[in-house]
Amino acid sequence: MKYDSRKYVIVTFFCLIGVIYTMKLFYMQVVDDQWKLRAQQIAEKKREITPPRAVVFDRNGKKVVSNQTYYNLMVCEDDIRHFNPSKLGELINMTPEEIRSRLKEIKVEQKDYYSKNLKRRDSNYRSYRSYPFIKELTSDEMSRIVPHLEEHPGFFEEITSMRHYPYANGANILGYLTEVNAGELERLPFYKSGDYIGRSGIERYYDKYFRGEKGVKYIVQSAKNNQIGSFENGRYDTTAVQAPAIHLGLDAELQAYGEKLMQNKKGCIVAIEPSTGEILALVSAPTYDPNLLVGRRKIKANMPALEEDLNVPLFPRPLAAQYMPGSTFKLLQSLIGMQEGVITESSGFACNKSVVGCHNHPSARSVAEAVKMSCNPYFYAVTRRIIEQKKKKSQFEDAPIGLEKWVQYMHSFGLGKKLNTDITGLTSGRIPDIAFYDRWHGHRQWKFSTIRSISIGQGEVELTPLQLANVAATIANRGWFYTPHFVKSIGDKGPLEQYKKKNYTMVDRKYFDPVIEGMRGCVHDAGGTARRARIDSVIICGKTGTIENYIHGVKQKNHSAFICFAPMNNPKIAVSVFVENAGDGGGTWAAPIASLIMEKYLNGEVKDKAKEKRILEAKLSIFE
């Protein structure tokens, strides 16, 4: 009996010990975050090595984005010994008060989180982690500090890199970097506090391709947290791997030349290679030097002035500005009219100014002549036939049928929707549909005469310059396009799959020839509206646009627009140009700018120095 009693006591004792240990483990692992943080501290005796971001080259192998070495002065609170803020302040040009304030600021920057187990908020700051104390020090600045860092345990140097732009161009294409925010830190494990992420342009769109692979260096520390060497002689360390270079379709020299032509003007230039969809140049004017927004210091110093500039240099006009296309839109009305069978290439209409105003010219006897002379009454008649399908007796019921089909044609040209290109900040433009006019005028309360301004690209139609350059490329290809894009290849892998697919319009190949002939005549024949776009020995096909401009119902100076491609056969470049508030027609300003861009690209130089001088010296509606 006594033996049985002792047995039960012993069993009970061991069971009780087991229960106690289980409860303690549960408390340590689930309830008490401090043990979890201690395990994390032990595991984090390592330093991550972030590689420089991928470099970027233009289509000709010129480096347009590179990296320059900078340094961060790091601090780890647990490693600080014999802290002397006065002596440290002499070294880094800060007062003791500024140093103490910065240490507090670092803790605040890490923000806090809510512990569900402990039912309280706790800081993300960890005293055993390293944080940047001073960022973005140059080599000269760091070389003055490093020899004295042994006197200040807990402070050490960290090599980092920041972007550099050898060409001070293409800011709205390349974008810029800023520090990751709290949401990005939670969502993207690659980044740690203080790292930089792409915030706009291709830096944002291709951010994951720019990062590369981090390396890790494991550190052996003494009981006093002093670093005494690398773990296992670096056996488990890994090397940081920079991401492969990114190659653009951009022509850096053409981009720089385009920005030069657009100095002292507001507007944009877009140039596309029709055979590939690669964007050769994308000029937004006014612009800024991308080096102004490299790193925290420069962003803090320069961003306010850029944001307050009345000329809005941060606004990417080629991607986000929505302009009425004006007479450039007549090309599409011609193509749709022929495809729908409401006109033929030899259809003629009288230039009846009582219907809609027009400049003085003979009546057009064909599509080609109408395009060349840009006859407003002609395209009023064509668009009326497209919209009025004669399928319903009531014009209010018939017009929506024609408009719906017209909208489908426009969508097939990539209009009225965002082009799926590789940059952020795009808008879709506006192709007004049935729902749009029902909201404006009421259900079945509108007909063609209500919406007739769409005939000549005025009124409710709005397109982006990128979309119109793509229209020029589509016409150059006689009915198809690759989605416009910037990146030619990531490493040696080539473009992404979505940029290898041909997009076909709803218009047959045969209907493009008369329109193209009219575009040729617009530039090269007597009576054409774009004679200033001529280049010796190159046949250019183009269309001018003079766009009425109203702000709050008050008439402003006209915008000048032009779209074109060249050469006529085997096209190499398609261009759209918008000059805001130019006060004259598309042939006066936009057409010669486009011709200079094409001549520079096709011939490598500009011979018409008089034309170039006139454009360079022009100041058009710019705030000074």
Residue 35 has pLDDT above 50, yes or no: no
Task: Report pLDDT for 41.
Answer: 44
CA distances in angstroms from 555 to 245, 268, 357, 393, listed in the order given: 49, 22, 17, 38
Residue 288 has pLDDT above 90, yes or no: yes
Higher pLDDT, 28 or 480: 480
- Encode 461-478: b = buried (16+ Cβ within 10 Å), e = exposed: bbbbbbbbbbbbbbbbbb
Bond before 286 cis per omega within 30 degrees? yes
pLDDT digits (tens, 9 = 90+) for 133-191: 998 898 899 999 999 998 999 999 888 888 999 999 999 999 999 988 888 888 888 88
* 220 and 229 Cβ atoms separated by less than 8 Å: yes
Give the N- to C-terminal CA distance of the chain in Å, as an integer.
107
Closest CA to 320 of 234, 434, 424, 228: 424
Gyration radius of the chain's alpha carbons: 33
Q: What does pTM read for this prediction?
A: 0.85
Mean pLDDT of 380-396: 93
Residue 36 has pLDDT above 60, yes or no: no
Share of the chain above pLDDT 90, in %: 65
The torsion angles phi and psi of 60, rounded to 5 degrees, stand at -105, 15
Angle among Cα 280, 285, 287 to the nearest 5 degrees reads 90
Highest mean pLDDT among 184-198, 216-230, 526-540: 526-540
* 247 and 601 Cβ atoms separated by less than 8 Å: no
Beta-bridge partner residues of 577: 269, 562
Residue 109 has pLDDT above 50, yes or no: yes
Mean pLDDT of 376-402: 93
Q: How far apart, in whole angstroms, are the C-alpha atoms of residue 349 and residue 502?
A: 35
Least confident of 357-361, 362-366, 508-512: 357-361
Q: How far apart, in whole angstroms, are the C-alpha atoms of residue 156 and residue 292?
A: 28
Q: How far apart, in whole angstroms, are the C-alpha atoms of residue 157 and residue 134?
A: 10
Task: Report pLDDT for 13.
Answer: 60
Bond before 567 cis per omega within 30 degrees? yes
Higher pLDDT, 42 or 328: 328
Q: How far apart, in whole angstroms, are the C-alpha atoms of residue 449 and residue 447?
A: 6
Task: Report pLDDT for 18.
Answer: 62
The tokens for 192 are 């740690």
Q: Please spell the DSSP secondary structure of 556-613, one letter per residue.
A: -PPEEEEEEEESSSS--EEEEEEETT-SS-TTTTHHHHHHHHHHHHHHSS---HHHHH
**Secondary element (H or E) of residue 197:** strand 196-198
Q: How far apart, in whole angstroms, are the C-alpha atoms of residue 469 and residue 258?
A: 15
* 211 and 197 Cβ atoms separated by less than 8 Å: no
Task: Report pLDDT for 515.
Answer: 98
Mean pLDDT of 211-235: 64
Task: Report pLDDT for 37.
Answer: 46
Least confident of 25-29, 53-57, 126-130, 283-287: 25-29
- Rounded to an integer, what is the distance from CA 531 to the centroid of its chain? 34
Task: Report pLDDT for 236.
Answer: 66
Least confident of 86-90, 162-166, 192-196, 251-255: 192-196
pLDDT digits (tens, 9 = 90+) for 244-285: 999 999 999 999 999 999 999 999 999 999 999 999 999 999
The torsion angles phi and psi of 57, rounded to 5 degrees, stand at -120, 150
Q: How far apart, in whole angstroms, are the C-alpha atoms of residue 394 and residue 399?
A: 9
Mean pLDDT of 521-539: 92
Task: Report pLDDT for 583.
Answer: 85
Least confident of 115-124, 190-199, 289-298, 581-590: 115-124
The tokens for 55 are 């470099």
Alpha helix stretches (DSSP H) within 44-92: 85-92
Task: Report pLDDT for 551.
Answer: 78
Q: Average pLDDT over the chain, rounded to whole?
A: 88
Closest CA to 280 of 254, 261, 257: 254
In one-letter notation, the amino acid at residue 552 is H
Task: Report pLDDT for 40.
Answer: 45
